[in-house]
Structure 1
Amino acid sequence: MKILHAVTLHSPSHAFGGPVRVALNLAKGLRERGHEARLLALGEGFDPWPVSVEGVPAKLFPARRLLPLGFSGMTSPALLASASRLVRDADVVHVHLARDLVTLPVALAALRVGRPLVLQTHGMVDPSERLLAKVLDAVAVRRLLRGADAVLHLTPHERAGLDAVVGAPPLAQAVRLVNGTPAQEERPPLSGPPRILYSARLQARKRPVDFVDAAPAVLAVHPDAEFVVAGPDEGELAAVRARVTALGLTDRFTVPGALSTPEVLTELRRAHVYVLPSVDEPFPMSVLEALSVGVPAVVTHSNGLARDIAAAGAGRAVDPGPQGVAEAVLALLDPSENTKASHAARALAAESFSMDAVLDTLLGVYEDIRR
């Protein structure tokens, strides 16, 4: 089966975050099962220009920023001109849909030429009062959600949001598909001072400053603790650095910027605890990666993985804000608690979020819509 995975942007800094990671994981898993999966996206920041990404054949078009709207204002005239031809070559077109000028045109091209179309929104298409969102919903998004052969959602909350976007009647072709993570080598036995890691985009919704503000309470108990704030800047880097300086903690914090996938795994294997203090996070790949390595995770209650983590004892779910984060980190720095949570994290990743289980569900969807 030929499957085309379309996502907005791929870059060395992984600026677009989780959707690209999911697309690559799925494409790699599909290829391991004998299918011809490819990646289609904008590209930015490469030298030399890649023709594959992590072993997945990729067609990347140089990104052009037409409007000052972040990812929504990026496109490629060459990609738009090629969209119909590219989707015709696929047996299934799987679009990681956002309100942007890449995935919307590719999905519309698939609908226009009658190729089986799967949409996966990763929480990026939800009810919005923004003018641009309303325009795009009226012009394209509702048509695509109604016309797709399958719409994949992560959580009941995301499904409710998609139904709200399209209006009555609710989507009939919605299918729940959780994110999966490949099996990873377990972190080695802990050594050295406590190391607490944040590795995600530095964006306001992800609240990296809360991570910084939790540090003094942790340091009061563990004065040798080390903190790492890693990830591409999306507006919060200056605030993070300013807060670290204001608290007098420059010797306790490392801010390495964006990390490659191997570098992220290296940091995870050194970490005692992983923290993602964001709110309304649908289903973060960074947390799944931490669990797969055996790093206990601290998330807020509105995180799509919060219930699973709390029920399994694989970390802690807390109220937003630095106080809850600090208390959870301190609890997980207890050696016996950390060991128990680490084993639970590995088990949760393997049993509930394995790539094999996700691929079994996804291939079932593909087969159903091709009949």
Structure 2
Amino acid sequence: MKILHIVTLHTPDHAFGGPTRVALNLSKVQRAQGDDARIMALGDGFVGELPREVEGVPAHLFQARHLLPMFEVSGITSGALLLAARRRMRGADLVHVHLMRDLVTLPAALLALALRRPLVVQTHGMVDPTEKRVAQLTDLLGVRKVLRGADAVLHLTEMERLDVNAVAAPVPLTRTVRLVNGVRPQKRKPARDPGQPPTVLFLARIQERKRPEDFVAAMPAVLAKYPDARFVLAGPDTGALPGTLELAARLGVLESLDHVGPLGHQEVLAAGRRADVYVLPSIEEPLGVSVLEAMSVGTPVVITRTCGLGPDVAEAGAGRVIDSRVGEDEANAQKVAQAILELLEPKANAEAGDAAWQLVNEHFTIKAVAQTLRRTYEDVVRRKAAPR
């Protein structure tokens, strides 16, 4: 099967995060199974020519044009990409659009509808009801039409299914399919050595929504018990790094904080292996790939109840799931610190690490996700080919 994944953006530091990572992971498995899967996206931040493949996946990248800089990622586009998309879509058996309210994936999805190509859209928690006027206008001009016209709409959680239905209202969506994120199984790392200084990891885009300040604010309480502990702040900065480092300086913990910047995929897994606890205190996180990658090597996690993985982590005992609220910074930091301290205890760390590793291998492998997606693709193509 010839599959064209369309995602908004690919950069050298993987600043766009989840949707591009999901598209790449799916494409790699699909290609290994004999499909011709490839990605189409904007490229930005590269020196010289844009790459023609990413991690072994053929990539059709076009230089990003910052048409509306005030809207950041949502305001970039490329006329050349949209022209090429028409040709690529005609040669594809199925178009898989990783949809958001932007000037790349939305017009591409509308084009697929106009060409009557089999269309699967995946929203990654990025399309939900909103009070923002520009987003409401975007919904009116195109998002609703795409959701209603797609041959399948993929959602990560039940909350996301309700959200996309609310955006598509009053027309109910009848072709929704739950598709979780998945990662490749990894070898379980050795149990934590209680004689070594612990390492605590934050690995995600450094932006306000991910709450890196809560991670830093938890450091004094942990350092009071483990003065040699290292805290690693990894990921591309998308606006919150200066404030996060300033907070660390004010709290006097800057010397215990290692800011390592963005990491490649193999570096991400290596960082997870070195860490004793992974922390992502994000207020809203549909189903974080970085959380899954940490658990895939046997690292227990600290996440919030508004993370889509919260129920799974809590039920499996794969870490700690905490309450976190905007505007309650001190209370949030205390909860993060307490969760970290609990998971640094050797017995708790070993039990949660085992549970995390088993959770990923039983429910969140990329192979299982790809099998579910394959059934969805085949159903879509069959329905599309049926006489009307």
In the alignment, which residue of structure 2 is the partner of 1:58? Answer: 59
Query: Given that residues 196 and 227 in structure 1 are in contact (C-alpha distance below 8 angstroms), is that contact kept between their aligned partners in structure 2?
Result: yes
How does the TM-score come out when normalised to structure 2? 0.94
**Greater displacement, 197-206 / 259-268:** 259-268
Alignment match of 2:259 (pick from 241, 255, 261): 255
- 2:123 corresponding residue in structure 1: 121
Instruction: Supply the distance in 1 between the matched residues of 2:107 and 2:243 (Cα, whole angstroms).
Output: 36
Q: Which residue of 1 aligns with 2:159?
A: 157
Give, in angstroms, the shift of residue 190 of structure 1. Answer: 3.2
CA contact (8 A) 2:106 2:143 kept: yes
Distance 1:64 1:185 in 2: 41
Amino acid paired to 1:221? K
Q: Name the residue aligned to 2:204.
A: 200
Cα offset, 1:263, TM superposition: 1.4
Q: How many Å separate the matches in 2 of 1:10 and 1:272?
A: 30
Contact 1:163–1:170, Cα closer than 8 Å, also in 2: yes
| TM-score with structure 1 setting the length | 0.98
Q: Find the aligned partners of 2:236 and 2:101 in 1 and give their Cα distance.
A: 21
Structure 2, unaligned runs of 5 or more = 325-331, 383-388
**Aligned-partner SS, 2:153:** strand
Match of 1:359 in 2: 370
- What is the deviation of 1:189? 4.1
The partner residue of 1:102 within 104, 110, 117 is 104
* Superposition deviation, residue 169 in structure 1: 3.2
Which aligned runs of 4 or more in structure 1 are off by greater than 4 angstroms? Answer: none
Matches within 5 A, 1:1-371: 1-47=1-47, 48-68=49-69, 69-191=71-193, 192-320=196-324, 321-371=332-382
Give me the whole-angstrom Cα distance separating, in 2, the residues matched to 1:89 and 1:27. 17
Within 2, Cα distance between the matches of 1:6 and 1:295? Answer: 32
Residue 184 of structure 1 deviates from its aligned partner by 1.7
Contact 2:191/2:350, CA 8 A, preserved across alignment: no
Q: Give the paired residue count.
A: 371
Deviation sequence 1:244-299 (CA, Å, 0-9, x none): 11011121001111111121111111000000000121000000001101100000
SS in structure 1 of the partner of residue 213 of structure 2: helix
In structure 2, distance between residues paired with 1:255 and 1:70:
24
2-side partners of 1:312 and 1:122: how far apart? 23
1:224 maps to amino acid: D
- Residue pair 2:192, 2:350 contacting (<8 A) in 1 also: no
- Please tell me whether the aligned partners of residues 83 and 105 of structure 1 are also in contact (alpha carbons under 8 angstroms): no
Per the TM alignment, residue 221 of structure 1 is displaced from its structure 2 partner at its CA by 1.1
How many angstroms apart in 1 are the aligned matches of 2:127 and 2:141?
14
SS at structure 1 position matched to 2:228: coil
CA distance in structure 2 between the partners assigned to 1:110 and 1:309 by the alignment: 37
Percent identity at matched positions?
Answer: 56
* Displacement after TM superposition at 1:27 (Å): 0.5
Q: Shift of the alpha carbon at 1:170?
A: 1.8
Moved more, 127-136 or 183-192: 183-192
Measured against aligned partners, the alpha-carbon deviations of 1:211-261 in whole angstroms (never above 9, x if no partner) come to 000111111111111101111111100111100110111210011111111
Kindly indicate whether the alpha-carbon contact (under 8 Å) linking 1:87 and 1:106 is maintained by their aligned counterparts in 2: no
Aligned to 1:57, the other structure's residue is in SS state strand
1:116, distance to aligned residue in structure 2 (A): 0.2
Q: Distance in 2 between matches of 1:98 and 1:355?
A: 22
- Residue 130 of structure 1 and its aligned partner are, at CA, apart by 1.1
Q: Deviations over 1:75-102 (max 9, x none)?
A: 1121122221121111000000000001
Deviations 1:118-149 (A, max 9, x none): 00000000111112111110110000000000
**CA–CA distance in structure 2, aligned partners of residues 340 and 60 of structure 1:** 44
